[in-house]
Amino acid sequence: MNEVKDKIRENLKTVYDPELNINVVDLGLIYDIDIPEPRTARILMTLTTPGCPLHDSIASGIKYCVQGMEEIDRAEVQLTWEPAWTPDRMTEDGKRLLQGF
């Protein structure tokens, strides 16, 4: 099970925020990945700003990406604002890309 979750997380690194040009995992947008039943994934995510115009695109990008995996038939994406995203959620790679360190 954990292997599939890790694979999903790894695959989600191909979904980029087109404005920041950083993938959603390194940006810290993915809060939780769950497999409630076999071949079904449930992703809890946020966005950097409520009312972000890329809202729909990024969320559906995540859905398409996970559903495209051979281990998964169905992906549910839930968007949450609680807790709100903070820069601390970014991975070291994300921070390096954004802040140019």
Using CB under 8 A, which of 6, 55, 73, 81 touches another protein?
A: 55
Nearer to another protein, 38 or 60 (CB): 60
Using CB under 8 A, which of 37, 51, 82, 92 touches another protein?
A: 51
C-alpha–C-alpha distance, residues 92 and 89, integer Å: 9
Pair 99, 66: CB distance under 8 Å: no
Pair 73, 36: CB distance under 8 Å: no
Crossing angle of the two packed helices 55-67 and 2-12, in degrees rounded to 10: 130
Shortest Å distance, C-beta 82 to another protein: 13
- Lay out the site mask for another protein across 22-41 (x = CB under 8 A, - = otherwise): --------------------
C-alpha–C-alpha distance, residues 21 and 48, integer Å: 13
Using CB under 8 A, which of 6, 10, 73, 78 touches another protein?
A: 78
Please give the helix or strand (H or E) that residue 39 lies within, else none: none
- Chain residues that interact with another protein, rule: CB under 8 A: 14-16, 18-21, 42, 48-66, 68, 76-79, 85-87, 90, 98-100
